[in-house]
Structure 1
């Protein structure tokens, strides 16, 4: 059941396309009662197709890779790549108790770790933010144990040597970045933001 008080006026219900990653069933199962938080990411790719290819890459001996649970395209189209009942690899230290939501956004693409390419200056689209608000309202309604929300950058603050100048340090993760409208997204939500 969706909390319509949190939804935008005249907003249609969330339509979520189910498009599981090839390895979804290899990801560890969990009870939904274990889910306490939501982590907001951006894909740091120019389009959903590239984000999907990255998500499909196998990176672990288990035959799985890195991916969020939900992806929101520029036009607000919302897809589920991993069911919430599975632990996706989307943020170090918090995978077991959180859901990862990825918004398509260029971020620092294609030079993610170059010292002079750290601006995160591409705005999120109104359609993405509206879809995200609807998805969060739906998750809050379905998952009563949800209590917190964070950006990837709030939880992973590691600095690493820049790819183009190892004498300089850059953030390993900066998403969702300074263009993300936290106040708008959290208006009416019961989730508390952590890690800022």
Structure 2
């Protein structure tokens, strides 16, 4: 794969259950979903990714790639495996997680819905470089979406059950969609 010498390759550190995730061919992939971890740091995101949440398959929630605030790129799931990151879209997509606190630690509290941590310039540069590489590696890739575009489910707020909040709001209002879309050939998909 061609790489920009200024962009280091991904540090591959596959999740312990990665081999138990369903296999797929590259031709099945047409979508990238952008997420934020909604956690304080990469170490906590890794711990959450390692948690087994699905007893039948002995797997958990995870993305394929994680981009830390300094732009460091980590791969936790191979592209030829189906990661569990967006309900209803996993089989056809690659999940990319940007380290960002989001609504942490009160994700579903009505009084804590602001997502006010900006993405770092290093994260955005690394994301664009990764998306450009993925376009070269996966010829069927043609779409991009935010998690919030695809999962619009509302749930009762944890601090006030009479209020409904969005279950997923990432990557959130501070994600630089114009800059990212201007640098890649993928089209934005919404539900």
Which of 117, 126, 130 does residue 125 from structure 2 map onto? 130
For residues 127-151 of structure 1, what are the alpha-carbon distances to aligned partners after superposition, in whole Å with 9 as ceiling and x for unaligned? 0000000000000000010010000
Q: In structure 2, what is the Cα distance between the partners aligned to 1:130 and 1:44?
A: 20
Q: In structure 2, what is the Cα distance between the partners aligned to 1:194 and 1:65?
A: 25
For residues 84-135 of structure 1, what are the alpha-carbon distances to aligned partners after superposition, in whole Å with 9 as ceiling and x for unaligned? 0000000001000000000000000000000010001100000000000000
Map 1:1-196; keep pairs closer than 5 Å.
1-2=1-2, 12-60=6-54, 61-195=56-190
Runs of 4+ with >3 A deviation: 1-4
Gapped runs of 5+ residues in structure 1? 5-10
Secondary structure, in 3 states, of the residue corresponding to 2:23? coil
- TM-score, normalised relative to structure 2: 0.97
Aligned length: 190
Q: In structure 1, what is the Cα distance between the partners aligned to 2:98 and 2:184?
A: 19
**Aligned residues of 2:68 and 2:99 also touching (Cα < 8 A):** yes
Deviates more, 1:137-146 or 1:11-20: 11-20
In the alignment, what sits opposite 1:7? none
RMSD: 1.2
Report the CA distance between 1:14 and its aligned residue: 3.8
**Aligned residues of 1:3 and 1:137 also touching (Cα < 8 A):** no
Q: Which has the higher helix share?
A: 2
